[in-house]
Amino acid sequence: MENDVSTIVLTDENGEEKEFDVITKLDIEDKEYVIVIPSDEEEVDAIALRIDKDDNGEDVLVTIDDEDEFAMVSEAYELIFSEEDSNQ
């Protein structure tokens, strides 16, 4: 996935398209992740998604089901943003 993507559109389980703002992209242990938040909601939690490749080599975003993997991504995200807050 390109590093300069600022918004993406995802289709939910009901087939409805929703726009998300990309907060950051993370590269962890040879895998890529994005942290997104819904564009049209004010008080929301960030969502972490892994970037995988489909059979055609296209990027696909998948939810992180493994608790250890999710914890690793959450920790990296929190570390990045705690450093940014302390530098301001």
8 Å CB contact between 60 and 54: yes
CA distance 49 to 12: 13
Maximum C-alpha span of the chain: 43
Residue 81 has a pLDDT of 78
Residue 46: what pLDDT? 87
From first to last of its 88 residues, the chain has per-residue pLDDT tens of 555 678 999 888 899 999 999 999 999 989 999 999 988 877 778 899 999 999 999 999 999 999 999 999 999 988 887 866 565 5
Length of the chain: 88
This prediction has a pTM of 0.79
Instruction: Specify the pLDDT at position 50.
Output: 96
Question: Is the Cβ–Cβ distance between 24 and 75 less than 8 Å?
Answer: no
* Per-residue model confidence (pLDDT) at position 88: 55
- Whether residue 80 contacts residue 24, with contact meaning beta carbons closer than 8 Å, is answered with yes
Please give the pLDDT value at position 82. Answer: 80
Report the candidate in 47, 27, 34 with the shortest Cα–Cα distance to residue 5.
34
* Among candidate residues 22, 10, 26, 14, the one with its CA nearest the CA of residue 62: 10
